[in-house]
C-alpha cells in the first residue's frame, strides 16, 4: 500500500503539462517509473524482505482469566516431581563428591602413615646403632674407662649374699687420681 502511494505521487509528476500522453506511452512510463521505484526500494531495504509495520488496536480489558483447578493440580504435581528429581540429583552429587573427598583423605592418611613407618624404622635403626656394645666399648676406651675389676660391680641383691659394697672408680686420662 505504501508502495502504491509512493508510485502514485511519482506518477502524477510524469505527465505534467497540457499535453496528453497516449495510453501506450503512459503504460511504458508507469512501468519505467515502477522499475526505478523498485530499484530504490531494494537499495534502501535492509534485509531480504521489506519492512511492514501494522498498528493493532486490541482491547483486552474486558477479558478475565478463569481458574482451572485441573491445570493447577497438574502444575503442583509437576512441581513436586521436579523438586523430587532435583533433590535426588543433589543427593547423588553430594554422595559422589563426599566419596571423592574421602578418597583424598584416605590417600593423605596412607601417605602420612608410610612416612611415620619410615621414620619409625629410621629411629629403630639409629637406636640399634647407638646401643651396640662395640660402639659403647669404643666410646668408653676414648674416655679412659676400662673393664671393671672383680669386686667393683655391686649387684642389687648383694646384701642378701653378705658381700660388702665397693665404690667404683674411674681413671680419667690426664686427671690425677687422689
This prediction's pTM: 0.40
**Quick one: CA dihedral 23, 29, 31, 33, positive or negative?**
negative
Greater confidence, 142 or 19? 142
CA 104 to chain centre: 16
Q: What is the rounded radius of gyration, in angstroms, for the C-alpha atoms of the chain?
A: 57
Mean pLDDT value across residues 162-174: 62
Greater confidence, 10 or 74? 74
Q: Where are the alpha helices (DSSP H) in 49-157?
A: 69-130, 133-142
Mean pLDDT value across residues 2-21: 52
pLDDT in tens, 18-59: 556 677 788 888 889 999 988 887 777 666 666 677 788 888
Q: Residue 149: is its pLDDT beyond 80?
A: yes
* Percent of the chain surpassing pLDDT 90: 41
pLDDT in tens, 83-118: 999 999 999 999 999 999 999 999 999 999 999 999
CA 98 to chain centre: 15
CB atoms within 10 A of CB 34: 14
Q: Which of 4-8, 70-74, 77-81, 91-95 has the lowest mean pLDDT?
A: 4-8
Greater confidence, 44 or 67? 67
- pLDDT, residue 49, reads 65
Whether residue 33 contacts residue 10, with contact meaning beta carbons closer than 8 Å, is answered with yes
Amino acid at each position: 500500500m505504501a508502495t502504491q502511494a509512493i508510485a502514485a505521487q511519482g506518477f502524477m509528476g510524469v505527465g505534467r503539462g497540457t499535453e496528453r500522453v497516449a495510453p501506450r506511452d503512459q503504460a511504458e512510463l508507469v512501468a519505467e517509473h515502477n522499475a526505478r521505484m523498485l530499484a530504490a526500494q531494494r537499495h534502501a531495504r535492509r534485509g531480504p524482505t521489506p519492512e511492514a509495520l501494522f498498528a493493532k488496536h486490541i482491547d483486552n480489558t474486558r477479558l478475565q482469566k478463569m481458574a482451572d483447578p485441573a491445570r493447577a493440580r497438574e502444575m503442583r504435581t509437576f512441581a513436586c516431581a521436579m523438586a523430587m528429581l532435583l533433590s535426588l540429583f543433589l543427593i547423588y552429587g553430594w554422595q559422589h563428591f563426599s566419596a571423592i573427598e574421602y578418597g583424598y583423605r584416605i590417600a593423605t592418611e596412607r601417605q602420612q602413615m608410610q612416612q611415620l613407618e619410615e621414620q619409625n624404622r629410621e629411629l629403630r635403626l639409629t637406636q640399634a646403632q647407638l646401643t651396640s656394645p662395640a660402639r659403647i666399648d669404643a666410646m668408653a676406651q676414648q674416655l679412659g674407662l676400662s673393664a671393671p675389676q672383680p669386686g667393683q660391680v655391686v649387684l642389687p641383691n648383694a646384701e642378701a649374699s653378705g658381700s660388702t659394697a665397693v665404690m667404683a672408680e674411674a681413671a680419667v686420662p690426664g686427671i690425677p687420681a687422689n
